[in-house]
Amino acid sequence: MQILEITENVTQIWARKGTKNVRKYRCTSGSRKGRIVAKPSTCTAPKNFGKAQTLKKTKAKRGGMMKHYSSRTKKYNKASKRLTTLNRRPSATRRTNKRKKI
């Protein structure tokens, strides 16, 4: 476990930004638990209730359409397909060099 995870209550993950894969954080506690954010400090920041209400209305109106578009993106977008393999691997394995000695 990293010091960052203890102090900020986040775990590092890979996320999609356009067609690129970038490092982001998943909040593990607080009001944004489970949400993926760009900075760990966002997890403990105060909520903006105006934006929360707008998102609630948008999901009520367009929730099904949003689900349809996201499923199509996950199926055909190459960056989304790479994400599944990146996030599936444990981070310790990613950093070690696995060459065999002869």
Domain assignment of residue 23, yes or no: yes
In a domain, 49, yes or no: yes
* Cα–Cα distance list, 67 to 5, 8, 13, 64, 71 (Å): 31, 30, 22, 5, 6
Is the residue at 91 inside a domain? no
pTM higher than 0.75: no
Residue 15 belongs to what domain range?
A: 3-80
Number of domains present in the structure of the chain = 1
Exposure b/e, 15-36, CB count within 10 A at least 16 = b:
bbeeeebeebbbbeebebeeee
**Looking at the domain assignment, is residue 85 inside a domain?**
no
Q: What is the pLDDT of residues 9-50, one digit of tens each?
A: 899 999 988 888 999 999 998 888 999 999 999 998 999 999
Residues ≥6 apart with Cβ < 8 Å to 70: none
Q: What is the pLDDT of residue 98?
A: 61
Residue 43: inside a domain, yes or no? yes
- Whether 99 is in a domain gets the answer no
